[in-house]
């Protein structure tokens, strides 16, 4: 898979002059969307089926600050996968320096209820498993 690149915007930096920490959670989403696109399963296709994928949890470990115009390379990988949940792992670098590592856990819901990915979206489930 190709890494995803995010160039830090002026409005993403705070009073300390660095990227506000909340924005990394948005960069994770951008990279995850791109990853699923590369896998052939765009968010908009999944949502068109009436299935939504809420975030169950996120964890971000800030290693080094970034700032305006830094290009952050985000490597996404699949972590733990079960019938009901799957995990994304993220490594964000600027050049050779790791600036942030992160993980996020996801489920799928339909009509407000959790669904088994392996049954409701079997092809996505296989594709995710194949990346482990």
Q: Which residues bind its own copies (CB under 8 A)?
A: 9-11, 13-18, 20-23, 25-26, 29-30, 33, 42-44, 47, 52, 54-62, 65, 68-69
User: Smallest gap, in angstroms, from Cβ of residue 14 to its own copies?
Assistant: 6
Give the CB-side neighbour count of residue 113, counting CA atoms within 13 A. 4
Name which of 41 and 62 has its Cβ closer to its own copies: 62
| SS3 call for 31 | helix
DSSP line for 39-55: HT--HHHHHHTTEE--E
State the minimum distance, in angstroms, from the CB of residue 78 to its own copies. Answer: 19
Q: Which is nearer to its own copies, 55 or 84 (CB)?
A: 55
Tokens of 10: 């002026």
């Amino acid at each position: 898979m190709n890494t995803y690149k995010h160039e830090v915007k002026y409005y993403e930096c705070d009073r300390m002059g660095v990227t506000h920490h909340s924005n990394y959670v948005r960069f994770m989403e951008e990279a995850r969307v791109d990853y699923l696109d590369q896998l052939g399963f765009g968010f908009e296709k999944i949502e068109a089926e009436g299935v939504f994928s809420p975030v169950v949890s996120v964890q971000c470990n800030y290693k080094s600050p970034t700032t305006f115009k830094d290009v952050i390379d985000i490597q996404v990988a699949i972590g733990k996968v079960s019938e009901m949940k799957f995990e994304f792992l993220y490594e964000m670098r600027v050049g050779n320096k790791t600036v942030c590592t992160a993980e996020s856990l996801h489920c799928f819901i339909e009509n407000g209820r959790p669904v088994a990915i392996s049954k409701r979206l079997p092809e996505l489930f296989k594709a995710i498993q194949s990346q482990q």
